Amino acid sequence: MPEPSLPVLNSKEMNCVFCDKTMFYSGENFVHVCLEQSHGTLCYFEPDQCWFAASESTALELGKRGLKFHFIPRSVFENANLTEFVCDYKEEDNKSSQVS
């Protein structure tokens, strides 16, 4: 089975602190994104090393863990133009769940 040899980009790959899934990385925005419904939209902005949570309980949990975070209402994510790649991601997710 051919396995694509990826360059070592560990700094651009990280797992979600809540669900442990690999987060989607947008190099354009320097932001990691996880969209698991269990914790709501969650972003990690690399330059600031700061988390952005759309769910208040998720934001509180970040605070408990001593992580730097901002609580952002969903509308702000939409205004920040993050919805474009969010939509792409969801489409892929839907396709894969239909296959399996």
| 76/70 Cα distance (integer angstroms) | 11
* Alpha-carbon Rg for the chain in angstroms: 14
For residue 50, state whether it binds Zn ion (rule: CB under 5 A): no
Residue nearest to Zn ion (CB): 16
Compare residues 1 and 69 and give the one whose CB is closer to Zn ion: 69
**Contact partners, residue 51, CB within 8 Å, separation at least 6:** 17, 42, 43, 44, 45, 62, 67, 68, 69, 70
For residue 16, state whether it binds Zn ion (rule: CB under 5 A): yes
For residue 35, state whether it binds Zn ion (rule: CB under 5 A): no
For residue 17, state whether it binds Zn ion (rule: CB under 5 A): no
Piece of 3-11, 26-34, 65-73, 83-91 that binds Zn ion (CB under 5 A): 26-34
For residue 61, state whether it binds Zn ion (rule: CB under 5 A): no
Compare residues 1 and 97 and give the one whose CB is closer to Zn ion: 97
Kindly state the tokens that stand for 64: 């408990």
| 34/27 Cα distance (integer angstroms) | 14
Residues that bind Zn ion (CB under 5 A): 16, 18-19, 34, 36
